Copies of this chain bind each other. A is one copy, B any other.
Amino acid sequence: RELIRRYFALIQERTGKPFPQDPFEQLMGSVGAVFGSWMNERAIIYRRKYKIPDEWGTAVNVQSMVFGNMGDDCATGVAFTRDPATGEDIFYGEYLVNAQGEDVVAGVRTPKPVAEMQHDPMFAGTYKQLEKVRQTLEKKFGDVQDFEFTVERKKLYMLQTRNGKRTALAYVKIAHDMVQQKLMTPDHAIRSADPDALSQLLAPIFDRRAYEAAGKEGRLLTSGLPAGPGAATGQLVFTAAKAEQLAAGGAKVVLARVETSPEDLRGMIAAEGILTSRGGVSSHAALVARQMGKVCVAGAGAIQIDYARGTLSCGGRTLREGDAISINGSTGEVFAGAIQTADSELKQVLVAGTMKPEDSEVYQYYAFIMKLADKHRTLGLRTNADTPEQVRQAIAFGAEGIGLARTEHMFFEGDRIDAMREMILAESVEARRDALAKLLPYQREDFEGIFRALEGRPATIRFLDPPLHEFVPHDDQAQADLARKLGIPVERVRARVAALHEFNPMLGHRGCRLGISFPEISEMQARAVFEAAAKVQADGIKVRPEIMIPLVGFKKELDNQVDIVHRVAATVQQETGQKIKYLVGTMIEIPRGALTAAEIAETAQFFSFGTNDLTQTCLGMSRDDMGSFLQRYTDEGIFKANPFASIDVSGVGRLMEIAVEKGR
């Protein structure tokens, strides 16, 4: 009653009006509060993360209330039909006797696992009902359900149900199991995947030896609830602000809170892992962590967190802010100090080969889903790769070829950069050819390695794209070194670097414009591709080079470069006696290319879309410079999502549509 009196006083003070006694007025006030919640900061942050447009708005459902807090024959709970962290087929959830729903999710009281209900004489019957509900729900909805219930004077009421959020691990296991059990359609199994979340399966786990060592060294502090699987190690912080600050500086942090609240959202996003001393697996910390794929240990009750002193104590040991801490979100363990992390099982099976497929359950679930997805997909899948190593990794994960091999990356390694610089500083076609001749063997070897790693799969190879000034040194010392190396006056280096300066390099002398100005560069690149192809093919390995001319806006640009490619191809084929099948196409990455796609398609044997540059030019926004207004644009709702993270459908998408229509 005292509490009620105080609330009444507070309402009077804050709103200048007494708490309304008319039920309808109360109802309207509540409805207004729900609508208003759409624009609070938490909702806005949430929407931004999940790219939900501001315009959608929210709805209000009005229904009669049941009470879980009318005595010890009342209870309330939150449950999942399966374990949303691991995907195991167990009844998973929590309940609190004599409480309302808010008490469970707020994490203020630590609730009991729902399984204990069956041993509680008061609720054993309810438990049986719930078990039935659990099966009915999965059958009815064809997916894991996350539902809330209240028991009012021993009578069970279901409050709501929805598809349960889950970790990526739980997703693959549940999809695998429920499809096998014929509870879920394969179609739903694929559609309900969160592709971003799947990358959680690649998240590191603890290195086995370091993990065992930590145990032996007695660094295990306690165990809480495993609320978000994976391994996290980092600096201990106690506030969201500190987490954000350190993470912005590149540090890895573990955020420890007594309990988390929506105000901590930004800090939780910034942290590697989240640790709470209170609250269960349905607490705010656990829910959010699971959804974001964050490692989380919740309700580690043995831990004492002292915000004022900035310490975390457990069993006589005390860690301070900034100390290393490690948590295992799959087991709930909390360790003092850092523990080295290791590759995920998927990587160990597919890439490193240090684990056998049959030893990894995760791998098997993953493979099951991928096979399912392969049945439905109509898109081919290629990887970005510039080295044989990258090619092998990508193929292990299912890539069917290379979609983009950037040849410029190949010019930075070791001595190559010297030859590249010599080429750029050359003052005649002959001198440029001499320098290019030095680059040819490097480039040929690169392509050879790539073709071998591809084992007959196609490779789209982009010719030199970035402006030449990216390859030259800009500070005095490096310029002097280069001049000495090349035996030319430093003034010449300086003058050439200055001449290469551009006001807007993104819109400057790059892409096919280089190959048109300096045809000998394209000649060298074509020669490297075809010589490598001929060599690998001679060894009995199929090669499918697809040369891509970048930044084409005019058909004649492409014609110019395609002529060179065909000419070199003919020469190399004659020299080697190898007949090579190849394609020459272009990347549509400036608006004019899209708008005149019909003409360009007369020459191009394929199109690729360069959505990064296409976005920069279509929006007139430099990705490197938008930092100064990105935040404002997001706050003002001008951007629904960062257009460089998620295609701008109305603008860039429209250009792509035009290009596809006209190109056919």
Residues of B within 8 A of A82 (CB): none
| Nearest B residue to A654, CB-CB | B595
Which among B505, B509, B618 is the interface contact of A591 at CB below 8 angstroms? B618
| Nearest B residue to A598, CB-CB | B650
| Nearest B residue to A501, CB-CB | B625
Distance, CA A596 to CA B619, complexed state (A): 11
Residues of B within 8 A of A617 (CB): 507, 591, 617-618, 620
**Residues of chain A from 597 to 649 with CB closer than 8 A to chain B in the complex:** 599, 613, 616-622, 624-626, 628-629, 632-633, 636-639, 648
Q: How many residues of A contact B (CB 8 A)?
A: 49
Q: Is the C-beta of A338 less than 8 angstroms from some C-beta in chain B?
A: no
Interface pair B592/A636, CB less than 8 Å apart = no
Interface pair A625/B516, CB less than 8 Å apart = no
Residues of B within 8 A of A503 (CB): 505-506, 622, 624-625
Distance, CA A650 to CA B502, complexed state (A): 27
Residues of B within 8 A of A505 (CB): 503-504, 625
A44 to chain B, nearest CB (A): 16
* Known pairs A618-B590, A638-B556; A629 contacts B595 (CB<8 A): no
Interface pair B591/A628, CB less than 8 Å apart = no
Distance, CA A648 to CA B648, complexed state (A): 25
Interface pair A651/B504, CB less than 8 Å apart = no
Residues of B within 8 A of A632 (CB): 516-517
Residues of B within 8 A of A556 (CB): 636-638
Q: Is the C-beta of A229 less than 8 angstroms from some C-beta in chain B?
A: no
Interface pair B507/A616, CB less than 8 Å apart = yes
Interface pair A629/B509, CB less than 8 Å apart = yes
Interface pair B506/A507, CB less than 8 Å apart = yes
Q: Is the C-beta of A554 less than 8 angstroms from some C-beta in chain B?
A: yes
Number of copies: 2
Task: Mark A399-417 against chain B: 1 for CB-CB distance below 8 A, else 0.
Answer: 0000000000000000000
Q: Is the C-beta of A560 less than 8 angstroms from some C-beta in chain B?
A: yes
Q: Is the C-beta of A513 less than 8 angstroms from some C-beta in chain B?
A: yes
Interface pair A650/B619, CB less than 8 Å apart = no
* Known pairs A507-B504, A517-B632, A629-B509; A613 contacts B622 (CB<8 A): no
Q: Is the C-beta of A543 less than 8 angstroms from some C-beta in chain B?
A: no
Residues of B within 8 A of A591 (CB): 591, 617-620, 651, 655
Residues of B within 8 A of A513 (CB): 629, 633
Distance, CA A288 to CA B341, complexed state (A): 79
Distance, CA A621 to CA B503, complexed state (A): 11
| Nearest B residue to A553, CB-CB | B619
Interface pair B620/A553, CB less than 8 Å apart = yes
Distance, CA A134 to CA B366, complexed state (A): 91
Which among B509, B557, B650 is the interface contact of A596 at CB below 8 angstroms? B650
Q: Is the C-beta of A534 less than 8 angstroms from some C-beta in chain B?
A: no
Q: Is the C-beta of A151 less than 8 angstroms from some C-beta in chain B?
A: no
